[in-house]
Structure 1
């Protein structure tokens, strides 16, 4: 029982930090960089912010993944026996994999941008006329990913809430009964 509580806590805390941190940076950090008077400082500020967030985000993702694996291990019988649970696990795993892929790709693009240090930009994910082509291309992709990652992790939050409802004793009994009856 304690192992399931630890797994759920790691899963939930990691997921909430991953979702909330990327959403906060998309809503606040990236647009706020436009406030810097010097266009070259804008890129440097965005890079510094995202570079500070990266290790925290990596820890959050690691906690989420470890917690998810622990939950799967602790719920194997329910996944196999309760109707609808296996489908939910597959959907949640697919969304998590998509969020991991999008996050990894965003980090690769972010490193490309970060290599240029004090490059002139309009804002964190908005190139200006003086932005080098490689940075501008990466920024345009990051502009989409900054919203895709919270959308994907937010969908995992929703499915996790649904999964929690499936764990209610009344739902477990119904799910096993439906599985047995067909």
Structure 2
């Protein structure tokens, strides 16, 4: 005897873990990795340490993003009826999808900016490895202008990543709460009864 179930526990768990990895790793990178170089004396090493750490984290971060995207599509497909019938569900689902795509784009641009900073830093360093920077993303008075420009871009996009990933988590919390019986009934009644 075969039974069907509306339980998407595994997809939901993978989705939530992927989003948590993406969000938490991004925050740790901004608060810890970028600042860790401040304790080093050579400017080029400040950039190299951050570049190396972000590079090592990149596969895990992209794994979290992929888990969020793939399971998000699976969860959306399995909730087509709810999307069509329950008021607000489709709108929040669309916002969540847009935030996920924007967050993936911001992550990619932050990584590109970091690579650009690393390349420029290697070109600008002195023979003794000197480069005037506070850390990987903060310039000093003597930081070359091209590096300053890319550091500003990276700071902006790196800050956008956890904001967007956090937005995905918040939208997902709303969607999961809409499964409660009272929320479902209210959402359905809002569709059929005039305001």
- Taking the TM superposition and a 5 Å limit, the aligned residue runs for 1:96-135 are 96-116=100-120, 118=122, 119=125, 120=131, 121-135=133-147
Uncovered stretches (5+) of structure 1, i.e. residues with no partner: none
TM-score (normalizing by structure 2):
0.85
User: What is the count of residue pairs matched by the alignment?
Assistant: 182
Per the TM alignment, residue 59 of structure 1 is displaced from its structure 2 partner at its CA by 0.7
2-side partners of 1:46 and 1:130: how far apart?
A: 20
Deviates more, 1:121-130 or 1:169-178: 121-130
Name the structure 2 match of 1:95.
Answer: 99
Change (3 A) 1:2 1:13: farther
Q: Compute the RMSD of aligned alpha carbons.
A: 1.8
> Is residue 2:15 matched to residue 1:11?
yes
Q: Contact 1:84/1:175 (CA < 8 Å) preserved in 2? A: yes
Aligned residue in 1 for 2:150: 138
- Relative to its length, the structure with more helix (as a share) is 1
**Residue from 57, 62, 86 that aligns with 2:61:** 57
Report the Cα distance in structure 1 between the residues aligned to 2:16 and 2:93, rounded to whole angstroms.
15
TM-score (norm 1): 0.91
Structure 2 residue runs of 5 or longer lacking an equivalent are 126-130
* Residue 181 of structure 1: aligned partner: 193
Choose 1 or 2 for highest CA Rg: 2
* Residue in structure 1 matched with residue 166 of structure 2 by the alignment: 154
Match of 1:20, SS state, is helix
Distance 1:170 1:2, change over 3 A: closer
